[in-house]
Structures are given as C-alpha cells and as structure tokens.
Amino acid sequence: MQGLYLVTPDWDDTGKLLAVTEQALLAGVALLQYRHKHAGAALREEQAGALLALCRKHACKLIINDFIELCQALDADGVHVGGRDASVAQMRALLGPNKIVGASCYGDLPRAQKAQQDGASYVAFGGFYPSRVKEYPVTTDPGIVGQAKACLALPCVVIGGMSAANAAPLVARGADMVAAISSVYLAPDPQAAVRGFRALYAQ
C-alpha cells in the first residue's frame, strides 16, 4: 500500500461522483474509500456499486467507510472504521482474514498498536491540517508518523487537509499513503492533482 488514498465527498450527484472518480483512477490511485455519511441506504448502495465497478475496471481496491453490511453485500475489498464505529476486532471477525480493515487512530499511538493487535490492515493518523470537508481538532503531531513506523508493521496513512505540498513532510517521515478528498474532487484538473500526490513517492 503506497500512494494516494482517495476518499469520496458527500455528493448526492452520482454521475458527477463517478466522472471525477474515473478521472482520478485513470491517473493512478492506491485505494479508494467510499464515504457518504448522509446518504440513504438506496443511494449508498447505488453509488458504492457503481464505484466498485469503476475500481474493478481500473484495478483499484474499494474500501467502504463504516457500513460493513454494504461491504459484504457488494463483496467490496474492505472497510474503514473510526473511533465511534465497530471495533477492528469485530470487523476482522466478520470479514475474515482476506479483506482490508483500516482504522482511524487520530493522534493516538496506543490506539494504533491496539488496531494492529486486533487485525488492522493499515492505520490512519490525523488531522494534521484544517480540512474543507471534515471538522476535527487539528492536533496531530507530525512526529507520530516516525514513531508509528518504528513500532508498527502496518502501512501508515495521513489524513486531514492534505495537498501534495503539505503532505510532503509527512511522506518524508515515512507515511505510506496520503488520504485526500477536496484536493482531488474540487481540483480544476483531478488527474493533475492525483499526479501531484503520486510524485511524492517517485522522489
């Protein structure tokens, strides 16, 4: 796992969502996460199913944020859980050993260590910078990336207000993936935005 971890915005317009996502996938995305906290069940199923088809077309794995039943129904590639969702251990028990289970760990290294112990596939830290999409405390110390790489055997994701420019110091510290929403979905040229993130790992 290395590169851009693209997370979808809360867009109800499925056509627009798919169009921008496909442009991003064409430029090279490491993982795609479907996240729409406010959608109804029918819209979630429609959008996630269409995104999964795009991911299969472009050889990218699709992660479902939180909704394990949706992941199971679609046979998506895994789930991502936050601090108020079901635990990593519960998700791993339900999904078995072959699916991806990601965990939000904020700025909490012991939480990340527990996630690894419980079967997580990767851990995500942040927010590091203010986000245009999500509201959270911007309190995560960049030093946690190096600490995590020293004591964990899992890929490390950094989240929160990420652009290619402000992600660069975190990649230099060892971040395996950079999660982004607005920097790609609201970019005038989504493919160029993706290439900017990919360039961080080509240096």
The rounded Cα 59 to chain-centroid distance in angstroms is: 16
Q: Any idea which residue has 């979630």 for tokens?
A: 44
Q: Is 24 helix (H, G, I), strand (E, B) or coil?
A: helix
Distances (CA, A) of 196 to 40, 100, 191: 34, 26, 9
CA distances to 148, 166, 184 from 116, in Å? 11, 27, 29
- The reported pLDDT for the residue numbered 12 is 96
Catalytic residue IDs: 35, 104, 134
* Amino acid 188: pLDDT: 96
Name the amino acid, one letter, at 17.
L
Burial grade of 87 (CB within 10 A; 0-12, 13-18, 19 or more): middle
Residues with Cβ within 8 Å of residue 166, at least 6 apart in sequence: 128, 129
pTM, 2 dp: 0.94
| Tokens read off for 197 | 């993130």
Q: Would you say the C-alpha torsion 76, 155, 101, 186 has a positive or negative sign?
A: negative
For residues 73 and 44, the answer to whether their CB atoms sit within 8 Å is no
Q: Which residues of the chain are modeled with pLDDT < 70?
A: 85, 132-138, 203
What is the predicted pLDDT for the residue at 89? 94
Asked if residue 57 lies in contact with residue 29, where contact means CB atoms within 8 angstroms, the answer is no
Report the share of the chain in percent with pLDDT over 90.
85
- Per-residue pLDDT at 139: 74
Q: What whole-number distance in Å separates Cα of residue 11 and Cα of residue 88?
A: 27
DSSP secondary structure letters along 88-102:
HHHHHHHH-TTSEEE
Residues 127-186 pLDDT 10s: 888 776 666 566 788 999 999 999 999 999 999 999 999 999 999 999 999 999 999 999
The secondary structure element, H or E, covering residue 32 is strand 31-34
182 HSE (CA, 13 A, CB side)? 11
